[in-house]
Structure 1
């Protein structure tokens, strides 16, 4: 009798580990800080200052991933190679909307807070003096109202409704190139024109110099800026230079404007008839001595269109901007000068003038660790606006009121029975203000996931 047995042995083939080396470069220059790892593995290598890396991989045909915050991610199928040199490039991708959320930037699809944005494309094609004019009606939950139609008038801004019965209790915080500034600029304007005697600080910035205008509307504002951001935060970022050739641009525009819609008012015959009925309805049989329009003191055959006389002029606005920008791989700059002038529809030479000078400089070290941004904005404004708004007078004067001028060209007071609306022109009003805003931003990347930032700035206002 014979006995036999069979021994069955089974085994599992384990992929052989191997070491992969290589360099990572851009335009033949080494790239430091690139993370290199096998897809599905937790082992990560980082390129050194010479762009060299060494990483362990396994499997017959592993996939190697190269990742750096400044470049698109690259994937390489290794095959049997043990040495791989690659070149990274900033490929042109579909442009994504990036929002400035205060101390950090976030892609629109990744944000959690409520942020509204108006870009330079929405601003630069509109002939406006203040960027708020271009932003009106473009952002939900943000109410922007101009105090007056007079050039240089201020704006009221309410974010997510009214928070206080006091006007200043609703003003948001303004951040210009990282520098907080006052929500209002002191002004000598008359209360009749600008009821709150202040103008908006964004009057000091040329709209063509603005890259983006963003509004933080919810908890983001208070989380970053504390109680100062309780009414929301408006973040203004001015344009920066771009690497490449030097560009010199000249932008100019000229526009005319008039009162779009005039009310259809009564002529003298219709007006006198209504006045007579009013006295009868009130039971007044004796015409008051002060009713000059009805008691015969003023000529009842005269008929004047006061809207045409007082607010019927054509206002003009001119804008001229010069800019010089350029840069290299690590440095960029922009210098811009703008001059704006506006007149009114009133029958006098009232002019609002602004002169703006903007300069921005940026530098980044070749290893992309240190970045410095300097920004400066200087503005001078002048306005000889009158101390009364003739719009109301053009609607309330009786159509048979006396002529504005006597035959000798002097103002007509009709024997002290007529308050001539042009009398305010005899007084001279001049408001001028200066604005300086300087900011410095320095950032240093310690690691791909840790960056230290320093923001400093200075803002000054002056008036006379």
Structure 2
């Protein structure tokens, strides 16, 4: 009987199913072993890396293809045969577009074969930066990723967006633009932890700050539909995958890795404010212009305070050097079946503010992997535990005091060393140090999973993740923090907040891989079950008989529960992906997911999402290779798909009630709407990746268009209804489009000298594309169809009135008053373009790396942060000395006056485009100089490797912004840091 042409492919051959233990050494062309080389079985997630001696061990079958890749060397593929020795020699080149292994979430891919848009940074870019959160380390390093810090206080959550703002919701606690964070396969709540005190009130605490940045192997950011659709609704705003470091199999001896550095941080720039002479002149001029005689009650700065005293309050309140100490130590080892990595970290960071204020972080990490001798079963366990302590302050901001306190304000302390209240003429700024704020966060993230090879190509996988975060915060407000003249009226109080976040996830999966001649298939299907419980308990204690009892609620005269909330969120999904490629030249991926969320009513709970991605490696075509010999790699790719979003408050579809203060009563707090449904984000992308001259010059270009429809918002209601809003879908479409450019080149690559240059540029555009009947909603005062969501409305500033010397803004409708109808100027505060330029220059053992970050944007000028009008009490920028004095004066500072007309004109001017300026900047984000100690000296110390380094962060910023920081405004700026340390391993 004639055999079918497919009979050979499906004939059972036992040796094809037998795992082969392959060991070998990877060397360069000069015979030097290469550590850190990625070795993977093509088309699978199985892989390893070479140790310090270039040795590796991996299991594969006869006929499998092994792929060896390492930055700086040409990727190498080899098919496993019965005689394959495992020893490999890599040829030096720089081909970043080829075979760098990338974590795509449920599977691994390579830069050569990916169809989606995934940006990646590695440990080398992260580990030296003296930052608390890993998100801070991404500034300027990724196209399409915006990291915007709100303050320089350690542990504060930055704003993080991937390819712009998709949702109308942007308020704290109701933000529909947060990406999905996944750490070692476990999703983490990405919303900030609300704080009840200190400088974190505006931004909240960062939920990722307990993670040890030095223990991160890589961070991948998934952006387009092909990359994010497999995560369904959770990936609507992009996905951030954080992978921590692992041990390696076949490591024959215990490996010890360490890093320690120390240094300091400081405020990089102060505002140029008036000195005492200038300030006194301004104040006297204001009284003269108003024809008013100063009195002790209205002008104690002129009549009671020392007219010759001068204090630079910026240096006094935020001029300290914040000391930084950081240490990491890890142990790893293993054999052919088992590997482990265990370690810990310590981070201590002082404050630029006065007083004993600091931030501390302790962490521990564990990674354990085991596989059976036949390589069919693999087990893994990962755990990361962190403790974070913050000792911040409550109530008054030192930054605000530093910028506004008169320069001749009294001494802080009296002759006896007590707080000086200067006969009750001021509120002593350091009194706030007695109003302590202590916060502690414990975070545990664990993931256990297994992988079992059922038959060749078919693998059963599952992971079980659990994360918990507990935050405790206590603020104390003692009587002694107030002026003794009013202490008899003050009731000592303490505030307490407990936040608990528990989450578990289970994801069973099946992976099937097979080939039919040149046809290669990779199929994934799986389930996701997730449950998250968030609890917040806030209490207030009043009336303590002794200050030492503050914080002990049992000793309070009265205890009030201000918040007691428990929210349970449940999520379930089924997902699948079919990956196909023909001859490693044409690639198609189909992804689908059906999501279910407890945040919708019973009839709207489930929705379907999916995507298609495709790529063509056109340099595999012979006619391309013949006609463009300099083009060593070229790929076209594209994707289209839909993802959903359920980032709305829980239980919004239900009527909710709260108990009345009296007994046995309830009152409604929320209207029901069971009909609102999923927000939909439709993503389109096309892109190309090119590599020239054997990978020396590489370029990637992407165009994206994301449209978010069926907007989920809290629809505002008139107060007569008794409710502020009701959850609903609005007929609005938000569109984000943009161009992303990524380039990396290696102009010089020799044995002793290397120069690598990488750059990225993003040109985004955000637009409210459609909003039917917007004029019938309250959103017509916030958004404009055809404009970005980041716009601000302003009055039109028309200059100084030469008769009155006061600010003038345009009365557009001529009705004699100012209202929303007169706010005719629309300014976009979003980024016009942004990016970064990274250089790495190495000469023998010496290496220099520096990163420039640049952003083009408009924002508020420093004038907007001046809280008092010209002439009123409170210091001002020195340019206020150029106030208007007589007709013909050319200035943008109105005359010094404390009158009601001056107050009103100042109020409207600060809501006009007078306070809009160019907040663009170039910033030297990082600068690192390192030196590898000579190998002979290292060997004498019985070490494998060691290097010393000096690192600078936020060293220089070039900008026209006259305030503290163009990104944080006049909050505490991003601090300039200088650290030095040692990295070593045994």
Do they fold alike, i.e. is TM over 0.5?
yes
Q: What corresponds to 2:155 in structure 1?
A: 152
Matches within 5 A, 1:212-291: 212-220=218-226, 222-243=228-249, 244=251, 245-281=253-289, 283-287=290-294, 289-291=296-298
Give the whole-Å Cα distance in 2 for the aligned partners of 1:51 and 1:438: 30
How many residues in Structure 1 have an aligned counterpart in Structure 2? Answer: 403
Report the alpha carbon displacement of residue 93 of structure 1 after superposing the two structures with TM: 4.7
Q: As a proportion of its length, which structure holds more strand?
A: 2
Give the whole-Å Cα distance in 1 for the aligned partners of 2:108 and 2:19: 28
Q: What corresponds to 2:83 in structure 1?
A: 86
Q: What corresponds to 1:410 in structure 2?
A: 418
Residues 75 and 130 (structure 1), Cα distance of their counterparts in 2 relative to 1, 3 Å cut: closer
Partner of 1:199, secondary structure, is coil
Q: Which residue, 393, 396, 412 being the options, matches 2:401?
A: 393
Q: Is the 8 A contact 2:318 2:398 kept in 1?
A: yes
Residues 145 and 172 (structure 1), Cα distance of their counterparts in 2 relative to 1, 3 Å cut: same
Q: What corresponds to 1:47 in structure 2?
A: 15
Matches within 5 A, 1:203-218: 203-218=209-224
Report the alpha carbon displacement of residue 70 of structure 1 after superposing the two structures with TM: 4.7
Residue 68, structure 1, aligned to residue 64, structure 2: yes
Structure 2 residues without counterparts, runs of 5 or longer: 1-7, 21-60, 68-76, 473-986
Give the whole-Å Cα distance in 2 for the aligned partners of 1:249 and 1:75: 33
Matches within 5 A, 1:440-455: 440-455=448-463
1:12-34 deviation per Cα after TM superposition (whole angstroms, max 9, x unaligned): xxxxxxxxxxxxxxxxxxxxxxx
Structure 1 residues without counterparts, runs of 5 or longer: 1-36, 53-64, 77-84
Report the alpha carbon displacement of residue 292 of structure 1 after superposing the two structures with TM: 3.2
Give the whole-Å Cα distance in 2 for the aligned partners of 1:131 and 1:361: 23
Q: What corresponds to 1:120 in structure 2?
A: 123
Give the whole-Å Cα distance in 2 for the aligned partners of 1:74 and 1:154: 48
Report the alpha carbon displacement of residue 348 of structure 1 after superposing the two structures with TM: 0.7
Matches within 5 A, 1:127-146: 127-146=130-149
Report the alpha carbon displacement of residue 342 of structure 1 after superposing the two structures with TM: 0.7
Partner of 1:170, secondary structure, is coil
Q: Which residue, 353, 356, 366 being the options, matches 1:349?
A: 356
Q: What corresponds to 1:3 in structure 2?
A: none
Give the whole-Å Cα distance in 1 for the aligned partners of 2:188 and 2:80: 47
Q: Is the 8 A contact 1:332 1:363 kept in 2?
A: yes
Partner of 1:106, secondary structure, is strand
Matches within 5 A, 1:155-234: 155-164=158-167, 165-167=169-171, 168-184=175-191, 186-190=193-197, 192-196=199-203, 198-220=204-226, 222-234=228-240
Report the alpha carbon displacement of residue 351 of structure 1 after superposing the two structures with TM: 1.5
Name the stretch that deviates more: 183-192 or 333-342. Answer: 183-192
Q: What corresponds to 1:323 in structure 2?
A: 330
Partner of 1:67, secondary structure, is coil
Partner of 1:429, secondary structure, is strand
Q: Is the 8 A contact 1:256 1:314 kept in 2?
A: yes
Name the stretch that deviates more: 180-189 or 239-248. Answer: 180-189
Report the alpha carbon displacement of residue 333 of structure 1 after superposing the two structures with TM: 0.3
Give the whole-Å Cα distance in 1 for the aligned partners of 2:217 and 2:78: 28
Q: Is the 8 A contact 2:198 2:392 kept in 1?
A: no
The root-mean-square deviation of aligned C-alpha atoms, in Å, is: 2.6
Q: Is the 8 A contact 1:313 1:344 kept in 2?
A: yes
Q: Is the 8 A contact 2:347 2:360 kept in 1?
A: yes
Q: Which residue, 367, 380, 387 being the options, matches 2:387?
A: 380
